[in-house]
Each structure stands twice: as C-alpha cells, then as structure tokens.
Amino acid sequence: MTGFERLQQAKRFDMKRKPIRQRQYLRPVTWLLSYPEVGKHHLKINRIRMEGVKPPFLLLCTHHAFIDFKVTTAALFPHRANYVVAIDGFLKREWLLRNAGGICKRKFTNDLQLIRQIKKVLTVNKDVLALYPEARYSLVGTTAVLPDSLGKMAKLLGVPVVMLNMHGNYLSSPVWNLKKRNNRIEADYSLLFTENELADASVALVNETIRKAFIYDEYAWQKENRIRIEYPQRAEGLHKPLYQCPHCLTEYAMYSEGNRIGCKACHKQWEMSEYGELTSVQKAADETTLVTEFPHIPDWYEFERSQVRSQIEQGAYSFTCKVRVDALPNAKGYIPLGNAKLIHDMQGFRLEGNFDGNHLDLVKPALSMYSCHIEYDYFGKGDCIDLSTLDDTYYLFPEGKKFSVTKLALATEELFAYHSRRKMVEPAQRVESRAASSASVM
C-alpha cells in the first residue's frame, strides 16, 4: 500500500469529541512535572488585578518554549484548565493529552468546532481555557503576529480575559537551540477584562488591549535584568532565524558555531555576548561597503522582514522548491507521501504532488493565513513548514540549501498584511471612481 493510499484510508483525528475536564488523578501529576522545573528556574509570578479571580476565564499566554506549559500550570494552581494543543502534540499520546485537558487544533485553519469546544469548557465545565494564540514558539524572543479574530472570540465567549506574559522562557531554550539553560524566569499574570468590562468594550479596544499585553522582548528583558547565559554554544543555530547577511545582503549563506554567527559569502562575523548582544568581531572581505550592525537580535530579524516586505510591495516575491511530504491525519504517526512541489508567491501557497498516480493539489490563498507554523530540524528530518486543512496536516521539508523556512514565515505574514491593505483600499478607490464618473456627466 502506498503512502497516499494509507492516507486515504486513515481515520482522521476526531475533532468533534467533547473536551474532557482535566482528570482529578492527573492534576497532582501535572504539578509534580511542573514545580521542580519552574523551581529550578526560580520562577517569580507577578499578579496584577488577580485578587478574587476564579474560573471560568479565558487565559491568553505567550509562547516561548516547552516550559511555558509548566509555568502556566504553576500560575493557575490550584485550578484546572483545558489547553488548545496542535495535533503533533497529541502524537502517540492522545489518551494522555485528552485526559489532561488537551483540545486538538490544526494550526492556521478556521475551525468553528474549536469555538464550540472552548465554549463548553467555559460555560458548562466552568474551567479555565488556556490559549497560546501566537501558535508557535517565538523565533527571536519577540511577539508574533496576533489575529484580529482574537478580540471577536473574547467578546463572543463573554468571560473574564486573563493574560500570562512570560519572561526568560525563550532564553532558557530558544527554538533554534534547544539546549536548556538555567536562567531565572518570570511571568506577569494579569486580569485584562472582567466580564462587565468586556461587555462594555468594543472589539477594537479588546484587540488593542490584548496586543499591548502581549508585547515582550526577551533580549531587552535579558539586558535590563542582567541575565547571564554562560553556555559556550549560545549562538549555535542562530543562523536559522537570521538567514540574511545585513552586510552583503546574501541570503542563505549564514552559519553559526559556538558563540559566533557569520556569513560565508562576505566572511563577516559577529559574536554573541553572555547578555545576548551581537558585536562585530571580523571585518567583511569588502571593507569599503557600509556595514549594517544589529547588536539587538530582534532588529536583525525585523530588517529581514523589511527586505521581504520590499519584495512583496514590488510584486517580485516568489519561491518554488521540491519538498518531501509527510502527512499527519491523526495522532498515530506520520505517513510519508514522497516528493512534491511547493510554490509560495504573491497569491499564497500551492502544494502540487503526484504520488503514484494520485494527485494532491492544496491551495492556501494569502488571505487565508495570517502566519504559518515552521520548525527547525523537526525530529532530525530538517527544517519544515506545515500546511493544514481541517482533516490533514502536511509537513513539508524543502530540499537543497537555497531556502529558509524563516523567510517563508515572514513572507506569509507580510503577504497577509499586503493583501489586507489592498482589500481595504480597493473599495474606497471604486467609490471614488464612481463619484468621479458621476461628476463627469453632470
């Protein structure tokens, strides 16, 4: 049986199954798994307006590393919660995740069934619903894009909204270098809206308040609090998010080793200090060229974003490559399908594959995804991006060296913003055109 035939016959994950209240016998287990870890990092929880706040409420959390879930458990103690978890989190442990309160979600899909399950948790079970709306670990320790639908959902649910903004979690295990560091961590645990405040607030105000509460910068926090990371290989993997040299502008030629990151094209190097700052340590081959320096790592990342944005505004963005495809229809395991072609251009994503005569054509328009989920060296198989329908998730591993999944993520966000702006401008232009036409015949 071919991989595609196995996928066709596979039973899909039951997304309609009612969420289970976290089993009483598992609650002590979650505490035992969480408290030693957060204790090792000297977790400090700053509670703001949380006096008397009890379930049910919507808990919004920043997303940095796996330790986030343990910090959330500690902050919520002694209350139980249901967590929205991506389908790969259920892999080989569906029973455990469901009974611990997990609710499955395929990332960056419009899933109305999830809203029904969330409402059941809050209105029937009257528990906490924990949500990580950034939907992926932070790439450079700063806030990811948040959807406008977040405010609408909060208004629809009509329960208090609580925020858990964590600090130091990313530093302890950045997504591009999962070696754990033992730095201290903090969390700001705050009430954003009471039920009455939420009822009186507009969707725009709710979104504005949530976005403000989500602001974080791990490297600024590290510098401000003098958090020292002595790990000698602290820069290894940093070339994954920082894929473009700011000196010669070459893409995909960056490398990192030890505490340094450099460019293979112009030989420029930077050293990462114990406090997370980058300093130029080696001149480039072309010393006459103006060197753009970014001591603050998130500034380098935003420079890359600006480069992608420029390509999109010029209508010049396009990426095509051969990818290996693994499908995940349920929590039992991945099904290798074979090779396909991934196209990402001004219109969005297209995945085209022919697997032993079976054709796969998946189209994800630019306006259907405000962001995307990427992984670095996913299970040792390489960097990947995943695209989902409501029934399947496809993990795509680009082949060759001339690519960066980070650029694909940035381009997804910038394409969504670009088309959203055009969608708003075009109706106004049509109105102006009709008015001009009417005036011309008067």
pLDDT, tens only, 171-199: 999 999 999 999 999 999 999 999 999 99
Cα–Cα nearest to 406, from 428, 374, 362, 365: 374
Residue 326 pLDDT exceeds 70:
yes
> Residue 425's pLDDT band (boundaries 50, 70, 90)?
confident
pLDDT level of residue 424 (50, 70, 90 thresholds) = confident
Q: Domain 14-225 in CATH: superfamily?
A: Glycerol-3-phosphate (1)-acyltransferase (3.40.1130.10)
pLDDT at position 293? 84
* Predicted local distance difference test score (pLDDT) of residue 292: 62
pLDDT at 51 over 70: yes
Residue 442's pLDDT is: 41
| DSSP structural state of residue 188 | E
The fraction of the chain above a pLDDT of 70, given in percent, is 94
- Domain 318-419 class in CATH: mainly beta
The arithmetic mean of pLDDT across residues 113-132, rounded, is 95
pLDDT score, position 291: 52
Is the predicted pLDDT of residue 277 greater than 70, yes or no? yes
Backbone angles phi, psi at 373, to 5 degrees: -100, 130
Q: Where are the domains of the chain?
A: 14-225, 254-313, 318-419
Q: What pLDDT band is residue 88 in, cutting at 50, 70 and 90?
A: very high
Q: What is the pLDDT of residues 130-151, one digit of tens each?
A: 999 999 999 999 999 999 999 9
pLDDT bracket for residue 430 (50, 70, 90): low
Mean pLDDT score across all residues of the chain: 93
How many Å apart are CA 209 and CA 151, to the nearest integer? 9
* Residue among 39, 137, 51 nearest 88 (CA): 137
pLDDT beyond 50 at 290: no
The mean per-residue pLDDT over the stretch 124-128 comes to: 96
pLDDT at 437: 46
Asked whether residue 91 carries a pLDDT value surpassing 60, the answer given is yes
Radius of gyration of the chain (CA): 23
Confidence of residue 59 (pLDDT cuts 50, 70, 90): very high
Each residue's pLDDT tens digit, 244-270: 999 999 999 999 999 999 999 999 999
User: Is residue 404 a contact partner of residue 243, using CB atoms and an 8 Å limit?
Assistant: yes
- What tens digit of pLDDT does each residue of 336-388 get? 999 999 999 999 999 999 998 899 999 999 999 999 999 999 999 999 999 99
Tell me the percentage of the chain whose pLDDT exceeds 90.
Answer: 90
> Residue 436: its pLDDT value, please?
45
Reported as a single tens digit per residue, the pLDDT across 210-252 is 999 999 999 999 999 999 999 999 999 999 999 999 999 999 9
